[in-house]
Every structure is written in C-alpha cells, then in structure tokens.
Amino acid sequence: MQKTKTPAVVATFVVCYAFWILLTWSFAAQELIVGAVVSLLVALFAARFFIHAKAGWLANPAKFFACLGFWLFTFPVELIKANVNMAKICFGGCKAINPGIVKVPTAMKSDYGLAAVSNSITLTPGTITMEVAEDPNEQRNYLYVHWINVEETDPQKAGEAIKGTLEKGLRRVWE
C-alpha cells in the first residue's frame, strides 16, 4: 500500500468537498463547515487508495478545461447519439440486432484514462466494457466491449464506432 502524500490528500479533499457542495447545494456556514470536516476525514483515509500519481493534474488549466469540455460537450453528444441509436433498435422491433463481444484497441496508457474511457463506453446505451487487457507484445491496451448490435468486426473500425470521440476527448485530460 502506498504512503499518503500531502498533494494526494489535498486533491482528494477538493474533489470530496466539491461533491459535497454539489450534493447539498447549500452555502450555509454550518453545511460548509461540516462538509469541510467530512471531506478532510475522507481525504485523510482514502487518498492513498485513489490518487497514485500527479495529484495536482486538475490544477493545470488546460487539463481542467479539457475535462470540463469533455463532460459538458463531448460526452453528452456521444450519449445522445447512442440513445438515438438504441431508440432506432427498440422501435425497429429488436429483430435485426446482432449482439457480440468486440476487442477494441485503445491508445490510453494511464490507469485513470483507461478507467475513464471504459466507464464512458459503459455509460452509453448498447455497450458494456467487460474487461481492460494489456497486450505486452504489442504494448497496447484493449477493451473487450459487449456491443448490442455488432456492425463491424474489424477491431479498428469497431473501435471507432464504439468509442466515437470519447477516447480523443479523454486523452486530452489524462494523457
């Protein structure tokens, strides 16, 4: 287990406190104080489990705005496209679906980036990321994705269809 470092505690505190404020949506003094105390306790306990490297990455304005842009623009667009596609499948009678598991190559290297792209794919309807695997021979990571309607079996083309602009947007944040 890693030793807890101060930047990791600070980064975890900031994320927890921001989440507290978003959940309570109260700016009363007692709410802010309780939120700060709870966030600090959580940060002291959990920082070593969550933050492994580059704890202050979000302090970089380029990374911050890339993250903000991804969650406010890129992801919602991909989510809407996936929902429209699922609606077409459902309203079409679900007779012409071809479910399957596709091996999708990814350019993501960092653990956080892999987790983010995997979860983003899973959050879009019609796909579930089942596993992240590393191929040491090719020095590349792959995602095994269950796709409700396999339209392409070529890994590169299937990856483009499944990932859309998700990976590109997340690479700006995590790589």
* Model pTM above 0.85: no
| C-alpha–C-alpha distance, residues 12 and 42, integer Å | 8
Q: What is the mean pLDDT of residues 114-136?
A: 88
**What is the DSSP code (8-state) at residue 97?**
-
Over residues 150-169, the pLDDT tens digits come to 888 888 888 888 888 888 88
Over residues 7-20, the pLDDT tens digits come to 778 878 888 888 88
What's phi and psi for 25, nearest 5 deg?
A: 50, 40
Q: What is the 3-state secondary structure (H, E, C) of 105-168?
A: EECCCCHHHHHHHHHHHHHCCCEEEEEEEEECCCCEEEEEEEECCCCCCCHHHHHHHHHCCHHH
CATH topology of domain 64-174: Alpha-Beta Plaits (3.30.70)
The pLDDT, as a whole number, for residue 76 is: 92
Residue closest to 8 by CA, chosen among 31, 34, 42: 42
Where are the chain's structural domains?
6-58, 64-174
